[in-house]
Chains A and B, each alone.
Chain A
Amino acid sequence: MTVTEPLSTLVSAARKGDQHAWDTLVDRFLPLVGAVVRGHRLGAADGDDVSQTVWLRLVEHLDDLREPAALPGWIRTTTRHECLRVLAARGRMRPTDPQDEAGGLDAVEEDVAETALLAAERHAVLLAALAELPEARRDLLLLLLEDPPVAYEEISRRLGIPIGSIGPTRARALDQLRRTSALRGLAAGDAAPAEGGAR
């Protein structure tokens, strides 16, 4: 059973107790949960808790989903509500700013839910692009992205390259990333007119 299996097949197998079908659902929708959580700016520990609550709750609600197609919406809504609860329970809900022209918290929440899926898709494309890079360049980018940051001296030592070449190699790696088939596919799909510098 793979991530391309139709949702209805996976949901009905999971309802019958098939752990593998459940695992496949998790693999498919974990990025969506993560994107909604990030949209609410939860800390790592709270985000982990919310994620686990959403999956635990889904286990108990698999049987009441009338339509398997409703699953992504259910996951999005449940995650969003759980984020709001945790933010409020921690007293970290920011007051609604009257200068926010977006129409208050509800409007912002809808926006978060809608953009979550797009963010998850964008992440998948970027990670696919990263996987296309030669190992040495990928390692450099990953080291430069570490949080907290790794000092250039340390990067130089670990990768065996001079400090002075880190910047130029980063630029070449990013350039190469743009030319991967993953990112070229994205550019062709969504921003074809931008090719050649026309705006």
Chain B
Amino acid sequence: MSEDDELFAALGEAVAARADDDRRRAAAKAAFTWRTVDAELAELLHDSALDAGAAVRSVAAAPRTLSFGRRHDQDSVTLELEITDGDLLGQVIGEAIGTTQPGATTTVTVQRPGDADVEVAVDAGGFFTVPGVGTGPVRFRVQGAGAGMTTDWITL
């Protein structure tokens, strides 16, 4: 490669990087509007996508499983998710689920930037489904029986 071609290629990289930054800047700045200082934040405890061996296995066909909870809070619920072909099956696990008085419900809200929230009720076993959950940044809010919580953002 000639010196000119090397410089031209480096310049091309820099210009492409700037285009990426420009395209992402507005969304990055708008992220600040999602600030919720008082949320009980649940961290990602497990993600099958980062399992040892995920790198060397074909994982395209296997469901991705994720688990959120509050590591230092024994009373907190945990949220288990399984995503297969863009459909989500989830379970809210905690003592309070299914033991509350009739009429009281626990809900899970799927939040994505730029989209309306999707709220679903969990059944007596704590299960819920979100068909066509799609890809992109997402977080989940659990509200109702026991303590509410908001998960970290992740990319589906």
User: A residues near B, CB below 8 A?
Assistant: 14, 17, 19, 22-23, 26-27, 30-31, 33-35, 37-38, 44, 46-53, 55-60, 62-63, 81-82, 84-86, 88-91, 93, 95-96, 105, 119-120, 122-124, 126-127, 130, 141-142, 144-145, 147, 170-171, 174, 177-178
What's the minimum C-beta distance from A21 to chain B, rounded to whole angstroms?
A: 9
On chain B, the number of residues with a Cβ less than 8 Å from chain A's Cβ atoms is 49
What's the minimum C-beta distance from B113 to chain A, rounded to whole angstroms?
A: 6
Check if B153 sits within 8 Å of A60, measured CB to CB: yes
Q: Which residues of A contact B156 (CB under 8 A)?
A: 89
Q: Is B55's beta carbon under 8 Å from chain A?
A: yes
A145 to B9, CA, bound (A): 9
A105 to B50, CA, bound (A): 12
What's the minimum C-beta distance from A162 to chain B, rounded to whole angstroms?
A: 20
* Given A51-B27, A60-B41: A126 and B11 interface contact (C-beta under 8 Å): yes
What's the minimum C-beta distance from B38 to chain A, rounded to whole angstroms?
A: 11
A62 to B139, CA, bound (A): 17
18 contacts between A and B (CB under 8 A): A33-B24, A38-B17, A49-B137, A52-B27, A52-B137, A53-B155, A86-B155, A91-B60, A105-B55, A120-B17, A122-B10, A123-B17, A124-B14, A126-B10, A126-B14, A141-B8, A144-B8, A145-B11
A27 to B22, CA, bound (A): 10
Check if A91 sits within 8 Å of B155, measured CB to CB: no
